[in-house]
């Protein structure tokens, strides 16, 4: 009877590389201790994206709102690759995406790292390494990405820009954008500007944050009877 051949170190290293560079595949499995059915609020948020332009995922720290909701969904829109069970919005074309947070430093340390991984190991975040086409670094913020181009399943390229609330409302005007992800609560002025950017292309806005500001005007807008604008969905 033939003896099984030993697995080479090179084969093991290659398997580990493929696993590290396809992190998103480890999220929401069908079975096991982290099986998808245990994350009903996350799944409900995804599903709401199919019918609502605006979504707010408010949760405590360390429960997966940034990585498991925000970064996971943004990866899907940028690449056009969703799991078979995906219940949310689907774009059949490359998209233009903004991802923003409180400061350029925080965006680099949280949002950028969840999407790309550490700057020395790009492709170990949610976006697979082989789909990162190119990137441009941000001036004045070491190791921070300003813009990135991601291969979409259509064969074309999606466009991602990182922004911060430090730029003020004026930093969010001008462009037409398909998807905006705001990690941490922005001012009502910035949020309204993001709504305007997505209006003409039937885009979507996703917020993920812990409500450290309490029941702010923005939070109230998502409560029963609340409204940000005439175009708002709660």
Which two structure tokens, joined as six digits, stand for 153?
Answer: 């399943």
Catalytic residues: 184
Element (H, E) at 15: helix 9-20
Q: Which residues contact 180 (CB under 8 A, 6 or more apart)?
A: 97, 98, 99, 100, 194, 197, 198, 203, 204, 205, 206
Q: Name which of 106, 112, 89, 105 is nearest 198 in CA terms.
A: 89
Which residues are registered as beta bridge partners of 57?
208
Q: Name which of 177, 155, 163, 65 is nearest 114 in CA terms.
A: 65
**In whole angstroms, what separates CA 123 from the centre of its chain?**
14
Element (H, E) at 76: helix 72-79
Q: Which residues contact 142 (CB under 8 A, 6 or more apart)?
A: none
């Amino acid at each position: 009877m033939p003896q099984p051949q030993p697995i080479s170190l090179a084969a093991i290293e290659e398997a580990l590389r493929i696993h590290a560079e396809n992190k998103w595949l480890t999220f929401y499995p069908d079975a096991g201790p982290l099986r998808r059915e245990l994350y009903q609020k996350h799944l409900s948020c995804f599903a709401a994206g199919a019918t609502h332009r605006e979504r707010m995922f408010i949760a405590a720290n360390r429960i997966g709102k940034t990585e498991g909701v925000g970064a996971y969904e943004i990866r899907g829109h940028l690449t056009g690759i969703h799991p078979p069970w995906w219940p949310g919005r689907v774009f059949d074309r490359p998209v233009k995406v903004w991802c923003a947070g409180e400061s350029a430093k925080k965006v680099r340390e949280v949002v950028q790292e969840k999407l790309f991984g550490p700057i020395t190991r790009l492709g170990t975040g949610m976006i697979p390494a082989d789909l990162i086409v190119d990137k441009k670094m941000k001036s004045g913020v070491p190791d921070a990405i300003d813009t990135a181009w991601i291969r979409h399943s259509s064969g074309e390229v999606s466009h991602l820009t990182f922004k911060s609330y430090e730029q003020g409302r004026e930093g969010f005007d001008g462009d037409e954008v398909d998807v905006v992800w705001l990690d941490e609560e922005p001012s009502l002025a910035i949020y309204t500007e993001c709504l305007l950017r997505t209006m003409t292309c039937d885009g979507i806005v996703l917020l993920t944050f812990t409500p450290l500001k309490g029941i702010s005007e923005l939070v109230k807008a998502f409560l029963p009877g609340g409204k940000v604008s005439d175009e708002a969905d709660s």
